[in-house]
Amino acid sequence: MSDDQDEPLGVRIGAREIYDEVVGLREDVRSLGQAGENVTETLEDHETRIRDLESERGKFVLPVAVVTAVATVVAAGLAVAKLAQ
């Protein structure tokens, strides 16, 4: 009964329980570290893919602009020719 009087809630945590929790936390930290490495690799892969897509998109900008400019000039020429008649 004297043990119950020293601890008002009647809970006793020993060194073994504390050690087991520390070991469990160590494993959790290791798994988080590995997950962080995986996230870093995934982000680098996504960045590479995005840069590739952006460079591919740039290849088509100039040809589309040229086609649009030529079409505009042709349309303007046709409009002027129609007005001249």
pTM: 0.40
Weakest mean pLDDT among 3-7, 20-24, 74-78: 3-7
| Mean pLDDT of all residues in 47-66 | 84
| Cβ burial, residue 57 (10 Å; 0-12/13-18/19+) | exposed
Could you report the per-residue pLDDT of 6-17, keeping only the tens digit for each? 667 777 888 999
pLDDT, residue 6, reads: 64
The predicted-structure confidence for 25-48, as pLDDT tens digits, reads as follows 999 999 888 888 888 888 999 999
CB atoms within 10 A of CB 69: 10
Domain chopping of the chain, boundaries: 13-84
Asked if 4 contacts 10 with a C-beta cutoff of 8 angstroms, the reply is yes
**Cα–Cα separations (whole angstroms), residue 83 to 10, 30, 51, 80:** 102, 78, 48, 5
